[in-house]
Structure 1
Amino acid sequence: MKVRRVVTTHNNESKAVFASDGPPSRIVEFKHVPGMSAALLWETSASTVVGGEVNDPAPKATSWVPPAGGTNFMIVVFPPDSVMASASFDPVAAGGEYVEKLPGLAEKFEMDAPGMHRTDTVDYGLVLDGEVHLELDNGQIKKLEKHDVVVQNGTRHAWRNPGAKPATVLFVLVGSRRVS
């Protein structure tokens, strides 16, 4: 995945300056799910402040799912579902790779319902390229195309790509509290 991330901050005179310009520090490419990649672009906590020194939070992030009041900004490339349906696909190896590379998120996926998961977040998703289908746990499916937006309110869901090309989606996850 090729992504350019430009980050701003303030200098000692409180003037806006560029802090960095280049690839994000946390991009993961998956060996056991060919064509899948993800980039954690930035993260904030409930106590994040602006105006001070800016340090890249992505390398130290312990979870791809933010806590209540925090945010995670990411891009995910979903390969076609046919990748997971091929005879050479090893779901055990893929699952281990998810746990290693997507801590905090991988644990939300259900073993008995592949792809299904739920997080305590409000997710803003924007399809940047391709098509992806959002499947809810009641069986309803919506096809999303380039520039379609979804607001995912902590519901149980799965992302599917029945097409022949990868789909690229930008997500902002906003950590929330779940009501009973």
Structure 2
Amino acid sequence: MVRRIVTGLDEAGTACVVSDGESPVSKEYAHTPGFAAALVWRTGQTPEPVNEAVATDVTSYVPGPGETIALTVTFPPDSVFGDPSWDPMKAVPENLANTPGLAELFEPDAPGMHTTPTVDYVVVLDGTLVLELDNGRTVQLNAGDIVVQNATRHAWRNPGDKPVTIFVSLMGARV
């Protein structure tokens, strides 16, 4: 997964690193090889610096207005979803368990498409990814590209042959 460094204050009030390592909430999907997500950070409605790890009992991956969630998502190549051994019905319970609140927003009749009531900052960390929007409109993204996703319907596609990882900061919006 992705290395996460968290800064905070020590007992003397001096800036320090309070955590350096893999995100404590990392999910690898057994049914969809190569698909993984790691919750990087989460805040409440009024963000406050804290010296604690991410809560492992996140009830929703969709933050409410004023709240934030930061995570990484690794997308396997689209060929994984086209493989005859991949059964989307078997993937649903795992997705619901690993990303509650978000998984329920995916459209059953349009695989991958979803709309979140959030403003998202998305950074492509490696590889090439395609952002699909309404009416088949697409944007090819490369490592280092940043997307500001403003509560619009979208899907992420990986037409390549290697996994692609993005960093996403979701901010709950009033829509």
Asked whether the two chains share a fold, i.e. TM above 0.5, the reply is yes
Residue matched to 1:32: 31
**Structure 1 residue 49 corresponds to structure 2 residue 48:** yes
Q: Which residue of structure 2 lines up, in the alignment, with residue 76 of structure 1? A: 73
| Secondary structure class of the residue paired with 2:125 | strand
- Residue 154 of structure 2 is aligned to residue 157 of structure 1: yes
Q: Distance in 2 between matches of 1:47 and 1:57?
A: 16
Moved over 4 A (4+): none
Name stretches of at least 5 consecutive residues in structure 1 with no aligned partner: none
The 3-state SS of whatever aligns with 1:59 is coil
Q: Partner of 1:175 in structure 2?
A: 172
Relative to the length of structure 2, the TM-score reads 0.95
Q: Secondary structure at the match of 2:40?
A: strand
SS in 1 for 2:144: coil
Structure 1 vs Structure 2: percent identity of aligned residues? 50
What one-letter code is carried by the residue in structure 2 that aligns with 1:17? C
1:91-130 to structure 2, matched below 5 A, reads 91-130=88-127
SS of alignment partner, residue 119 of structure 2: strand
Counterpart Cα distance in 2 of 1:166 and 1:12: 41
What corresponds to 1:166 in structure 2? Answer: 163
Query: Normalising by structure 1, what TM-score?
Result: 0.93
Letter in 2 for 1:154: A
| Matches of 2:61 and 2:157, distance apart in 1 | 20
Contact 2:62 2:116 survives alignment (8 Å): yes
Q: How many residues align?
A: 175
The residue type paired with residue 123 of structure 1 is D
Deviation at 1:18, TM superposition (A): 2.1
